[in-house]
Homo-oligomer: A and B are copies of this chain.
Amino acid sequence: MPDIENVSLLRLREFLPYRLSVLSNTISTRIASLYDREFGLSIWQWRVMAVTGDRPGISATEIGQLTAMDKVAVSRAIAAMIQMGYLERKTSETDGRRSQLFLTPAGRDVYELIVPMALGAEQELASSLTEEEQKQLERLMGKLADAASPDRPLW
């Protein structure tokens, strides 16, 4: 007699969203502990530093767009990093609401250390895959991202 109770079967460990979540958290936590241990930076603060180092004069709103952080998180990360002496804020001369952000010399020092560290960790991670596989992964993640995009018809 077939088991009619369990019509369909769900194994969490094989469930794609779950696997992605666990993988992503493992990696993020691992890397975050590096930044934190070495420089006392959270993931959010690190993201702000990454984009500000790359685009001096950027605004908080733009940081939010580039980092997928919401504006409250951006605001808090910026405040903390100014406090730490890593960031400097000027008010735009053409728009009094807009802030323009720059790394201080101390901030740039950290940035110069952190970028190779981050790239190294990524390299370490990616090196478990062949070149070909890395490209594949990029492609597949892109497809998934499109499929999961919030401005799609509801599943």
Q: Quick check: A118 and B26 within 8 Å, CB to CB?
A: no
Q: Are A125 and B10 in contact (CB under 8 A)?
A: no
Residue of B nearest to A120 (CB): B155
- Copies of this protein in the complex: 2
User: CB of A93 within 8 A of chain B?
Assistant: no
List the B side residues contacting A54 at CB < 8 Å. 6, 9-12
* A26 / chain B contacts, CB cutoff of 8 Å: 145, 148-150
Residue of B whose beta carbon sits closest to that of A32: B17
The answer to whether A140 and B133 have CB atoms under 8 Å apart is yes
| Sampled A-B contacts (20; CB under 8 Å) | A7-B112, A7-B115, A7-B116, A9-B54, A10-B50, A10-B118, A16-B122, A17-B24, A17-B122, A19-B141, A20-B20, A22-B68, A23-B24, A24-B25, A26-B145, A26-B148, A125-B147, A125-B148, A133-B143, A137-B137
